[in-house]
Amino acid sequence: MPDLTAVKTASVQTMLRNHRIELPSWAFGNSGTRFKVFGQPGVPRNAFEKADDAAQVHKYTGVTPSMAVHIPWDKVDDYAALAVHAKNNGIRIGTVNANVFQDEDYKLGSVCNPDPKIRGKALAHLLDCVDIMDATGSRDLKLWFADGTNYPGQDDIAARQDRLAEALRAVYDRLGPGQRMLLEYKLFEPSFYSTDIPDWGTSLVHCQALGPRAMVVVDTGHHAPGVNIEFIVAMLLRAGRLGGFDFNSRFYADDDLMAGAADPFQLFRIMHEVVKANALITARSGDAGVAFMLDQCHNIEPKIPGQIRSVMNVQEATAKALLVDAEALRAAQRSGDVLGANGALMDAYNTDVRPLLAELREEMGLARDPYAAYLASGYGEKIMSERHGGSPAGWGA
Ligand code: RM4
Ligand code: MN
């Protein structure tokens, strides 16, 4: 078993105290599947109210001081005012997510579309997103493209890559100092025959061609079943190109369930690679730093508690990863002690880290159980009585 001496516990707690997790604005709005969006009472009606809800998660967890926005879902007239509003609530606006997948024009793709006019429109949106980053003080632009084809021969696979590279170059060159581009990949959907950025290799090739401030983002839901995600994480860290995570859980495809819900062991294994690479604590500016973001939807469960639970799950996986006895593990690995090495990892995974986290929260002036504290706060009842007519976050079935 890992030796939970006071010194070890304190050093793990120090790391956890500084480990930041970013919340997605879209987690707070109504969401669902293509079959049905189930509306919930009290959901935010605009980006300002989403920031209010994100601030609640931060208030009870103490580790989520930023909220990612999705444009145009979070379109406002004055982004600087949104940033000020977030700040007044104790958080800030984080990653700006572009959306070039919900306009009629994008039926055959956005930046890879065969029509140059449509490519131009998509590029203009991406550049607008950089303007928004300037106004909100955001570091990262996150790009996910729904681009691809449904039928062999529908379009030229290689030519689409050229179009993609051209658009990415224009956006990259527009980034200000200290701003980064995070390029996401997803194996399939909505395109079923070919996807223009289906995997980490494709994303990495584009990032490397662009420059050091283009980095890959790993959405844990965007892989085929059985894929060893921690291997990808290790490779990207090794290449210095892991820009961030979109954490969520999947059982089948891009399920967007709460992080750590479907496979907490996988989350632990991922965090173990991060911890080994000393990549846990992110720099606020500059090129370095892994962004730990949630990308989730709460379709049937209440949203703010769902986010709090997800943050707790990420913290628990991280705490366990920090508890791995690195020396014992290395010694076992070097001596070819297969079971000893595996045992060192499993000992950490099987440790109950909830008391350690509860103690840390107490030290931070928070309730030991953020989930229960939020439920007892009355905020959920308040927004239910005050807010009427919250609209779907974006998928809007
Ligand atoms: C995409 C991708 C993006 C997210 C949208 C909502 O599948 O994961 O990161 O912004 O969904
Ligand atoms: Mn994502």
pLDDT tens sequence across 242-293? 999 999 999 999 999 999 999 999 999 999 999 999 999 865 444 469 999 9
pLDDT, position 6: 82
Average pLDDT, the chain: 95
Over range 227-238, report the average pLDDT: 98
pLDDT, position 285: 44
pLDDT, position 7: 79
71 confidence band (pLDDT: 50, 70, 90)? very high
The yes-or-no verdict on residue 347 having pLDDT over 50 is: yes
pLDDT, position 274: 97
Q: What is the pLDDT of residues 117-148, one digit of tens each?
A: 999 999 999 999 999 999 999 999 999 999 99
pLDDT, position 280: 93
Task: Confirm or reject: Cβ of 184 under 6 Å from ligand 1.
Answer: yes
- Residue that wins the pLDDT comparison between 234 and 285: 234
For ligand 1, atom 3: residue with the closest CA:
144
Determine the distance separating the centroid of ligand 2 and the alpha carbon of 142, expressed in angstroms. 9
Q: How far apart are CA 123 and CA 197, in angstroms?
A: 17
Determine the distance separating the centroid of ligand 2 and the alpha carbon of 295, expressed in angstroms. 5
Determine the distance separating the centroid of ligand 1 and the alpha carbon of 360, expressed in angstroms. 32
Which SS3 state, helix, strand or coil, does residue 67 take?
A: strand
Over range 365-389, report the average pLDDT: 96
pLDDT, position 5: 79
The yes-or-no verdict on residue 321 having pLDDT over 50 is: yes
Task: Confirm or reject: Cβ of 144 under 6 Å from ligand 1.
Answer: yes
Task: Confirm or reject: Cβ of 97 under 6 Å from ligand 1.
Answer: yes
Over range 48-67, report the average pLDDT: 98
Which protein residues have their CB within 5 A of the ion that is ligand 2? 219, 246, 295
pLDDT, position 393: 64
Whole-prediction pTM: 0.96
389 confidence band (pLDDT: 50, 70, 90)? confident
Looking at the CA of residue 97, tell me the nearest atom of ligand 1: 10
Task: Confirm or reject: Cβ of 155 under 6 Å from ligand 1.
Answer: no
183 confidence band (pLDDT: 50, 70, 90)? very high
Q: Which residues pair with 148 in a beta bridge?
A: 195
For ligand 1, atom 2: residue with the closest CA:
144
The yes-or-no verdict on residue 2 having pLDDT over 70 is: no
Determine the distance separating the centroid of ligand 2 and the alpha carbon of 284, expressed in angstroms. 21
Determine the distance separating the centroid of ligand 2 and the alpha carbon of 198, expressed in angstroms. 13
Looking at the CA of residue 217, tell me the nearest atom of ligand 1: 9
The yes-or-no verdict on residue 69 having pLDDT over 70 is: yes
Q: What ligand has the least distance to the C-alpha of 145? A: 1
pLDDT, position 286: 43
Determine the distance separating the centroid of ligand 1 and the alpha carbon of 161, expressed in angstroms. 20
Please count the CA atoms within 13 angstroms of the CA of 381 that sit on its side-chain side: 5
pLDDT, position 388: 86
